[in-house]
Structure 1
Amino acid sequence: MKKTIVVISVTIFIFLFMFNIQAGKTKNVQVSIEESIKFSEEEIHDALTVVKRKFKGYRGCELTELWYDENQSNKDAKDYLIYGNGSTNGIKEENVIVLLSNFDVNASGGDGSFEPNSTESNWKWILIRDDKNDKWSVDDWGY
Structure 2
Amino acid sequence: MKKKRIIAICAVCVILGVAAVLALTGNRGNISNVNRVVGYSALYDENSINEAFDVIEKKFAKDFEGCTLTELRYDEDVENKFAEEIEKYHKENNQELIVVLSTFDTDEKGGDGGFNPNDTYTNWQWHLVKTADKKSWDIINWGY
Length-normalised TM-score, structure 1: 0.82
Q: Pick the structure with greater CA Rg.
A: 2
What is the SS of the residue equivalent to 1:22?
Answer: coil
Mean CA deviation greater in 14-23 or 58-67: 14-23
Aligned to 1:28: 33
Aligned to 2:93: 90
Structure 1 position 2, deviation (Å):
4.8
Amino acid in structure 1 at the alignment position of 2:55: V
Aligned to 2:121: 120
Structure 1 position 74, deviation (Å):
5.0
Aligned to 2:55: 50
Aligned to 2:104: 103
Structure 1 position 108, deviation (Å):
1.4
Mean CA deviation greater in 95-104 or 123-132: 123-132
1:77 and 1:54 map into 2 onto residues whose CA distance is 24
Aligned to 2:72: 66
Structure 1 position 142, deviation (Å):
0.3
Please tell me the root mean square deviation across aligned C-alpha atoms, in Å: 2.4
Structure 1 residue runs without a partner (length 5+): none
Mean CA deviation greater in 45-54 or 69-78: 69-78
Alignment check: 8 A CA contact 2:67 2:104 kept: yes
Percent identity between matched residues is: 33
Structure 1 position 58, deviation (Å):
0.4
Structure 2 residue runs without a partner (length 5+): 1-5
What is the SS of the residue equivalent to 2:26?
Answer: helix
1:75-130 per-position Cα deviation (integer Å, ceiling 9, x unaligned) = 43643775xxx59x8243xx111111000000011111001111111100111113
Structure 1 position 11, deviation (Å):
1.7
